[in-house]
A and B are shown apart, each in its own frame.
Chain A
Amino acid sequence: MTDYEVIIGLETHIQLNTVTKIFCSCKADSWFDPPNTNICPVCTGLPGVLPVLNKSAVEKGALLAAAMHAQLRPLSFFDRKNYFYPDLPKGYQISQYDQSLAFGGYLDLPMPASAGRPAYVRHVGIIKLHLEEDAGKTKNVGGERWTDFNRCGVPLVEMVTGPDLRSADEAAQYLIRLRQLLRWIGVSEADMERGQLRCDANVSIRPVGATYLNPKTEIKNVNSIESVRDAILKEVERQIREVEAGHKIEAWTLEWDEDKQVLRKMRSKETEADYRYFREPDLLPIRLTEEWKAEILSALPELPLERRQRFMDAYELPEYDAEILTSERRLSDYFEQAVLAYRGDPKRVSNWLMNEILRMLNERGLTADALRLTPTYLADILRLVDSGQINTSTGKSLVEKVEATGKSPQQIVAEEGLAKVSDDAAIRAVCQEVLSESPKEVEAYRAGKQTLMGWFVGQVMKKMRGKADPTLARQILEELLS
């Protein structure tokens, strides 16, 4: 049996999170709004209206292009893509064709180690990146076709990868990394279920070692990363089955049925449609001056994969920690601020973040920047533990208390008397009490059952409600029992 290589290219549509639409002043996001409530003469294509470009869409598009390492064009143009559809009120979509906002670009996709394969990096090239307006939505309701124009004119970036992905897992990883990046640089909410990140997958197979490309099928209507993976796996299976049976793969367009987990044929792809592109005469070209470009790029942060690497190099964090801490920009900022304030071992900050802080964020549905427990307070707590002023479990409870009250850790320790008792005499008294109350255990210990020491310490701690310095308690107990 032949071994096959899977060839995948992804075509994504990214909804930019501008306040208003790309060519009018209607509200851009209508997820929570009833149909046809965020519309105006411009986005519904009434006779005589003209588009006016929303600068913010250009800025967000340019930021994304830069984050994808694409080249920004100093001069780019809008073009009309002409076709008929009821959800397209002008009968053409304003898009960009041959001179789009940016060209080139790539994402170096880290693939984690998996069964039988070490970790590796997949270089994914970007072959198309342009701005365009979204169309509306139609649905069939009891024999009628209903149209919702709310989405008309919502700004999109269309971004297409080369046929560079080699498995369903890589495709899923690409989308995970893209979603992370979009949120990280703040250009899109990138929620696939809300259509803010949409993906069509082009899939073909070829014998391992071949360099040609076979006809591909296009999978549409997949609205989660899991579905993209499942749909590709199903399609690869089908293609292998067909080829093994001696059939040819035809260039179909397939639709993913989420409920039934099956692919359905939408249409055969005959010849490419002719959209009769020509320059949009109602809009001026986009002139991205050096000044404007510099202003836009000044908002470009360190990218998640770069930061992940830096956390591993500079803070000597394990890859696992670095991955989690850079999953989201505000969390990674929090981590770094805490490390800076703490000045101790970054791994210790990481441990606390990944255990205590992440749990709190998840439970409360918060982002790191919204915490009352600031990075400085977290560093304070760590230092209190390190210096022996409080023990670890007190430290952990402090995390909750600071978040609940907004008070500084020091203040809470003082007010609640949480500091460890390091007074030799006070601990000695409790130790004697414990020993006199436990004659059997004392006898057993003296007979050689040394492991009981932990139990004695525990009893002391219990009596002192955790405030005793356990090291000191052990010393005193050993002295009294010897």
Chain B
Amino acid sequence: MELCDTPAYELAVLLRQKRTTATEILNSCLARIEAVDGRPGTLEPQPATLPEDAGKVHAFITLMKTHAMQQAQAVDEKLAAGEDPGPLAGIPVTIKDIFCVRGAPATAASRILANFVAPYTATPVTRLEQAGAVVLGKVNLDEFTYGSSNESSAFQPSTRNPWNPERVPGGSSGGSTASVAAGEAPLSLGTDTAGSIRQPAAFCGVVGLKPTYGRVSRYGLIAFASSLDCPGPVARNVTDAALMLQAIAGPDPQDATAANVPVPDYLAVLDEGVRGLRIGLSPDYFRITYPNPETGEMEEQPVPEEMTAAVRRAAKLLAEMGAEIVEDVPMPNTRYGIPAYFVISRVEAASNLHRYDGVKYGYRTPDAQNDLRLMYRRSRGQGFGPQPKLRILMGMYVSAAQYSAQYYNRALKVRSLIRRDFDQVFDRSGRYRLDALLTPTTPTTAFPMAAVYGNSVMMQYADQLTVPANHAGVPGLSFPGGLAADGMPIGLQLLGPDFSEATLLRIARSYELATESDAWRKVKPKVLR
């Protein structure tokens, strides 16, 4: 196995045993990037398409090669000097280009921030660096994280799915999950607002964790919906995800909403098994409810059989290892997750986008010199792509004084109902007393490029099974659960009470062990075959 495909926790051991160096690991990753990534995303690629674009991953916007080499060298020097270089020493990590890293562009995959170079570093990135990780570069995403496919990025070509480059990697952390799936880096830092880590993790066959809201600081994360955004790890296996969460979790004096809750030792409990844990299955997570676009009537569709089957098989394996499976757990408000999300996230997004006005930094229109209002309108009109504009329009509409009671305040009520669903089933003295819910991460596997883009309502309904955790603030973990008939990965999701990341990781780790010798585990993504 090449170093770039080796799990992070194994690399850490190899490094300490002096069987490899940080520079060798980095070089292996750089070679992989060279082999599979193709040209990085740019604002106006010339030419717009190249024949060789087709089979490439295009995860990167900014490859920070020199920076990474310096960091790797520093780790090697520390190791040579007998110093402790940190738990993530020499592990290359990619950063979703929605985090600020001092001295590097922070584009948010938008024209409006294409020229913005961050003067400070986001807290989770600082913590990765303090743990010795090597920051390899900034990876692509949907513009301002607004999307589920990566295609809305202003930086094209947008990221492709390493399992099949005709398909989307998912989003918005598609660059993160694709870079990890393709062996360009063992770890990536993503963000999850409605499923933006878990959905692309499922689509790319990797592990993605949305921690409890407040578990990981948001300082330096360019905000989408501040009350929903969660930074979290993307990794190729559960142990690596735990290793990374360990480094980035914890209170932060620069984020008032970062929880003042001690960080447990995630790795210590990882192999404790599932005996005695109560894991629930909910019928509300085996169907998708959506409004008929013509009539507006709510319609229901069961999740495809192969997704359901993957979940049932996982439940069976966990039961065999001693977990108690609880069927028919009611989560009745799941269906309202998306409509409520549409309102809340857009109100916050519209406000968060106010600061991009062409006055202080970022894109400023060249053709309005003497009129402030015109400069605002043109800078924003030319700088934002269609997804931010849609969010601004809707956010402004539903937060207007005459509508906010009808939409925004109502959405907040729905949000507390969704939270109540979780509270009831996780209640220690309640009827269900669950440690976790087991669900499919997504209703489908990765969809073909251009299939859903343009119909943003349908794309958003792909988040129906992930968004409730964001409303409720609870942690959610997506991990690979097999391959579908189309050859694409299936993602399984675990949802737990606040700060139960250790338990979720433990359950997923047990599943990993139980399926270690499954045939699908040997299949590599297409770009690596």
Give the interface segment out of A40-48, A126-134, A427-435, A465-473: A40-48
Q: Given the known A-B contacts A46-B361, A47-B116, are A82 and B254 also in contact in the complex, defined by CB atoms under 8 Å?
A: no
Contact B256–A52 (Cβ < 8 Å): yes
Q: Which residues of B contact A276 (CB under 8 A)?
A: 347, 350-351, 396, 399-401, 404
The yes or no answer to A283 lying at the interface (CB within 8 A) is: yes
Contact A46–B120 (Cβ < 8 Å): yes
Bound state CA distance, A401 and B491, in angstroms? 89
Q: Which residues of B contact A249 (CB under 8 A)?
A: none
The yes or no answer to A295 lying at the interface (CB within 8 A) is: no
Contact A50–B120 (Cβ < 8 Å): no
Contact B399–A278 (Cβ < 8 Å): yes
Residue from the set A44, A84, A92, A276 with the largest chain B CB neighbour count within 10 Å: A276
Contact B360–A45 (Cβ < 8 Å): yes
Give the interface segment out of B11-19, B220-228, B419-427: B220-228
Contact A89–B355 (Cβ < 8 Å): yes
Q: Given the known A-B contacts A90-B355, A278-B399, A278-B404, are A47 and B108 also in contact in the complex, defined by CB atoms under 8 Å?
A: yes
Of the residues B116, B347, B357, B361, contact of A91 by C-beta under 8 Å: B357
Q: Would you give the 0/1 interface string for A31-58, flagging 1 where the beta carbon is closer than 8 Å to chain B?
A: 0000000000100111111111100000
Contact A48–B221 (Cβ < 8 Å): yes
Which chain B residue has the least Cβ–Cβ distance from A143? B370
The yes or no answer to B479 lying at the interface (CB within 8 A) is: no
Q: Would you give the 0/1 interface string for B325-352, flagging 1 where the beta carbon is closer than 8 Å to chain A?
A: 0000000000000000000000110110
The yes or no answer to A195 lying at the interface (CB within 8 A) is: no
The yes or no answer to B447 lying at the interface (CB within 8 A) is: no
Contact B106–A47 (Cβ < 8 Å): yes
Q: Would you give the 0/1 interface string for A85-118, flagging 1 where the beta carbon is closer than 8 Å to chain B?
A: 0100111100000000000000000000000000
Q: What is the distance, in angstroms, from A264's C-beta to the closest C-beta of chain B? A: 21
The yes or no answer to B376 lying at the interface (CB within 8 A) is: yes
Residue from the set A84, A147, A274 with the largest chain B CB neighbour count within 10 Å: A84
Q: Which residues of A contact B51 (CB under 8 A)?
A: none
User: What's the A-B contact tally at a CB cutoff of 8 Å?
Assistant: 97
Interface residues of A in 106-164 (CB under 8 A from B): 145, 147
Q: Which residues of B contact A92 (CB under 8 A)?
A: 351, 354
The yes or no answer to B218 lying at the interface (CB within 8 A) is: yes
Bound state CA distance, A47 and B372, in angstroms? 21
Q: Which residues of B contact A51 (CB under 8 A)?
A: 256
Which chain A residue has the least Cβ–Cβ distance from B229? A281
Contact A46–B119 (Cβ < 8 Å): yes
The yes or no answer to B469 lying at the interface (CB within 8 A) is: no
Q: Would you give the 0/1 interface string for A356-382, flagging 1 where the beta carbon is closer than 8 Å to chain B?
A: 000000000000000000000000000
The yes or no answer to A282 lying at the interface (CB within 8 A) is: yes
Total contacting residues, chain B, CB less than 8 A: 44
The yes or no answer to B122 lying at the interface (CB within 8 A) is: yes
Q: What is the distance, in angstroms, from B328's C-beta to the closest C-beta of chain A? A: 35
The yes or no answer to B290 lying at the interface (CB within 8 A) is: no
Contact B255–A50 (Cβ < 8 Å): yes
The yes or no answer to B446 lying at the interface (CB within 8 A) is: no
Q: Which residues of B contact A84 (CB under 8 A)?
A: 354, 357, 376
Contact A50–B404 (Cβ < 8 Å): no
The yes or no answer to B113 lying at the interface (CB within 8 A) is: yes
Q: Which residues of B contact A404 (CB under 8 A)?
A: none
The yes or no answer to A284 lying at the interface (CB within 8 A) is: yes
Q: Given the known A-B contacts A82-B351, A84-B376, A278-B351, are A50 and B359 also in contact in the complex, defined by CB atoms under 8 Å?
A: no
Q: Which residues of A contact B404 (CB under 8 A)?
A: 276, 278
Of the residues B100, B226, B401, contact of A281 by C-beta under 8 Å: B226
Q: Which residues of B contact A82 (CB under 8 A)?
A: 350-351, 354
Q: Which residues of A contact B100 (CB under 8 A)?
A: 46-48
Q: Which residues of B contact A147 (CB under 8 A)?
A: 359-360
Interface residues of A in 242-291 (CB under 8 A from B): 274, 276, 278, 281-284
Bound state CA distance, A145 and B408, in angstroms? 37
Q: What is the distance, in angstroms, from A259's C-beta to the closest C-beta of chain B? A: 26
Interface residues of B in 360-411 (CB under 8 A from A): 360-361, 372, 376, 396, 399-401, 404, 408
The yes or no answer to B296 lying at the interface (CB within 8 A) is: no
Q: Given the known A-B contacts A86-B372, A90-B354, are A278 and B347 also in contact in the complex, defined by CB atoms under 8 Å?
A: yes
Residue from the set B99, B108, B255 with the largest chain A CB neighbour count within 10 Å: B255
Q: Which residues of B contact A49 (CB under 8 A)?
A: 219-220
Q: What is the distance, in angstroms, from B96's C-beta to the closest C-beta of chain A? A: 12
Q: What is the distance, in angstroms, from B502's C-beta to the closest C-beta of chain A? A: 25
Bound state CA distance, A440 and B100, in angstroms? 101
Contact B113–A282 (Cβ < 8 Å): no
Bound state CA distance, A51 and B223, in angstroms? 13
Of the residues B226, B256, B348, B399, contact of A284 by C-beta under 8 Å: B256
Bound state CA distance, A276 and B402, in angstroms? 10
Bound state CA distance, A48 and B107, in angstroms? 12
Q: Which residues of B contact A44 (CB under 8 A)?
A: 360
The yes or no answer to A21 lying at the interface (CB within 8 A) is: no
The yes or no answer to B500 lying at the interface (CB within 8 A) is: no
The yes or no answer to B82 lying at the interface (CB within 8 A) is: no
Contact A48–B255 (Cβ < 8 Å): no
Contact B122–A48 (Cβ < 8 Å): yes
Q: What is the distance, in angstroms, from A47's C-beta to the closest C-beta of chain B? A: 4
The yes or no answer to A80 lying at the interface (CB within 8 A) is: yes
Q: What is the distance, in angstroms, from B177's C-beta to the closest C-beta of chain A? A: 21
The yes or no answer to B262 lying at the interface (CB within 8 A) is: no
The yes or no answer to B257 lying at the interface (CB within 8 A) is: yes
Q: Which residues of B contact A91 (CB under 8 A)?
A: 351, 353-357
Contact A48–B354 (Cβ < 8 Å): no
Q: Given the known A-B contacts A89-B360, A274-B400, are A47 and B351 also in contact in the complex, defined by CB atoms under 8 Å?
A: no
Q: What is the distance, in angstroms, from B470's C-beta to the closest C-beta of chain A? A: 12
Contact A41–B119 (Cβ < 8 Å): yes
Bound state CA distance, A278 and B408, in angstroms? 9
Q: Which residues of A contact B116 (CB under 8 A)?
A: 47
The yes or no answer to B253 lying at the interface (CB within 8 A) is: yes
Contact B357–A53 (Cβ < 8 Å): no
Bound state CA distance, A387 and B483, in angstroms? 106
Of the residues B253, B355, B401, contact of A45 by C-beta under 8 Å: B355
Q: Given the known A-B contacts A47-B100, A284-B256, are A145 and B372 also in contact in the complex, defined by CB atoms under 8 Å?
A: yes
Q: Would you give the 0/1 interface string for B92-135, flagging 1 where the beta carbon is closer than 8 Å to chain A?
A: 00000001100000101000010010111010000000000000
Q: Which residues of B contact A274 (CB under 8 A)?
A: 400-401
Q: Which residues of A contact B219 (CB under 8 A)?
A: 48-50
Of the residues B106, B372, B376, B400, contact of A48 by C-beta under 8 Å: B106
Bound state CA distance, A325 and B408, in angstroms? 55
Q: Which residues of A contact B120 (CB under 8 A)?
A: 41, 46
Bound state CA distance, A266 and B119, in angstroms? 39
Q: What is the distance, in angstroms, from A50's C-beta to the closest C-beta of chain B? A: 5
Residue from the set B113, B119, B256, B350 with the largest chain A CB neighbour count within 10 Å: B256
Q: What is the distance, in angstroms, from B375's C-beta to the closest C-beta of chain A? A: 9
Q: What is the distance, in angstroms, from A385's C-beta to the closest C-beta of chain B? A: 60
Q: Which residues of A contact B355 (CB under 8 A)?
A: 45, 47, 89-91
Bound state CA distance, A283 and B219, in angstroms? 12
Q: Which residues of A contact B225 (CB under 8 A)?
A: 281
Bound state CA distance, A92 and B353, in angstroms? 10
Residues of B within 8 A of A (CB): 99-100, 106, 108, 113, 116, 118-120, 122, 218-223, 225-227, 253-257, 347-348, 350-351, 353-357, 359-361, 372, 376, 396, 399-401, 404, 408
Residues of A within 8 A of B (CB): 41, 44-53, 80, 82, 84, 86, 89-92, 145, 147, 274, 276, 278, 281-284
User: Could you pull out 29 A-B pairs where Cβ atoms are within 8 angstroms?
Assistant: A47-B108, A47-B113, A47-B355, A48-B99, A48-B122, A48-B220, A48-B221, A48-B223, A49-B220, A50-B256, A52-B256, A84-B357, A86-B359, A89-B355, A90-B355, A91-B353, A91-B354, A91-B356, A92-B351, A147-B360, A274-B400, A276-B401, A276-B404, A278-B348, A281-B257, A282-B226, A283-B257, A284-B256, A284-B257
Closest 5 CB pairs of A and B: A91-B354, A281-B227, A281-B226, A276-B399, A47-B222
Known: A47-B113, A50-B256, A92-B351. 5 other contacts (CB 8 A): A41-B120, A51-B256, A86-B372, A91-B351, A281-B257
